[in-house]
Amino acid sequence: MTDEARLSYGDPITAPFWQGAEQHRLLIQCCRTCGAHQFYPRPFCLNCQSDLVEWVEAAGTATVYSLTTVRLPVSPEFNPPYRVAVVQLDEGPRMLTNIIGGECRIGDCVRVQWRERNGAPPLPVFEPVASEPGHNDGQTA
Ligand code: ZN
């Protein structure tokens, strides 16, 4: 993929997310009117309908909200078995993603990593981290 193609990846609403991904920066939107964070990107704030949404870098830490293992091939890009999860970013929004690395359960703390792809920007995936006091509701791996 050429630099020009990478820079124009996505559409006008999502392009900033992919440009962040190229630099391994997880960008989400934050509303300048009410302070709410949101993902995926939209042209306005879901909470207050303001169009004053700006891009901010997320901390990259999250808690596993839902988790499953896919064992049947559904796409040539993904070789089963692999784990699909919804993670809740520390900023609030939930994100559909893959879990890599070691054992992982619902409630575990995870941190963003980047999976490189041919012909497209990297994808954010999440990896379990050692439980940090106060980060989740006390569950341990
Ligand atoms: Zn708002």
CA of residue 60 to ligand 1 center, whole Å: 22
What are the E-state strand segments in the chain? 27-31, 37-38, 53-57, 61-70, 82-89, 94-99, 109-117, 120-128
How confident is the prediction along the chain (141 residues), in pLDDT tens digits per residue? 555 555 568 899 999 999 999 999 999 999 999 999 999 999 999 999 999 999 999 999 999 999 999 999 998 878 899 999 999 999 999 999 999 999 999 999 999 999 999 899 999 999 999 765 555 554 444
What ranges do the domains of the chain cover? 3-128
CA of residue 83 to ligand 1 center, whole Å: 33
CA of residue 56 to ligand 1 center, whole Å: 14
CA distance 62 to 89: 4
Residue 76: what pLDDT?
87
How far is residue 9 CA from its own chain's centroid? Answer: 17
CA of residue 90 to ligand 1 center, whole Å: 18
CA of residue 16 to ligand 1 center, whole Å: 19
CA distance 67 to 124: 16
CA of residue 138 to ligand 1 center, whole Å: 31
CA distance 125 to 63: 13
CA distance 95 to 64: 10
